[in-house]
Amino acid sequence: MSVDRHPFLQQILTNIENTGRQVCVGLDPDIELLPAGYDRSLLGVEDFLRSVIDCSHDLVVAYKPNISFFEAYGIDGLRVLERVIAYIPSYLPVILDAKRGDIGNTSRMQARFLFDSLNASATTLHPYMGEDSLTPFFEYTSKFHFVLGLTSNPGSADFELMEMKDGRPLYCHVLDKIVTWNDRYHNVGAVVGATQSLFKSIACQYPTLDFLVPGVGSQGGGYTDIVDCQSPRLGLLIVNVGRSILYASQQKPIAESVRKSILSL
């Protein structure tokens, strides 16, 4: 049975078919961690990220820059982000990890910046201020939105795993709501962390939802454990891997080490 997919998801699916992988590379640059041979400056950051893209673009399905790693360097850092996004080949979607979500008029401005100014293909959103805080994003119908469901950090236990009156944890109620939003807007998925022992059961319980899956690599999640959950799901699993790919080499040139780290997944 054919499934009509959002253009973002269709491009991801095409890239999965072409590469045989479901890897999204997280672009989270830290000047202090740049491999030897790159200048420890914003110019060095940009040179480094271009090198990563050059040697990995045929092996991955998307890139996920985390906006905070660019905002930390001020306006010039955001200009680097803008140029890096423009440098990424057009067939590779850019998921701009921004974790936005605020009262409606504020969210509208956030969405305008991420999508109109930076030309992101998708972003990440906080759910806890409710639907009206996310509607301005969902109304960008050509863009895709991953709402935080169950995250990969230990602090997820503080709220996301809390048991509600019906005996189900809070994250289940959030995922239920994400299903409702996707039924209405057709461009909403969920962030579910690979480090969670619950991942397999969540993947089965929500088979039509598309997941962005952080936590593989340095955070301890296993790539094959995640992709083994893909079949027979209709929703796609996009597995983000960051530091273990980004800093696979300690010195320039980095291409061999970066490619090896992706292929070894």
3-state DSSP helix/strand/coil % of the chain, to nearest 5 = 45, 20, 40
- The answer to whether the CB of 143 falls within 8 A of the CB of 187 is yes
Which residue is listed with tokens 């057709």? 186
Catalytic residue among 99, 143, 177, 200: 99
Amino acid at 160: E
Q: Does residue 99 carry a catalytic annotation?
A: yes
Query: Measured in Å, how far apart are the chain's first and last C-alpha atoms?
Result: 30
Residue 49 and residue 138: Cα distance in Å, rounded? 29
Residue 45 and residue 129: Cα distance in Å, rounded? 35
- The answer to whether the CB of 81 falls within 8 A of the CB of 72 is no
Q: Just list the catalytic residues.
A: 99
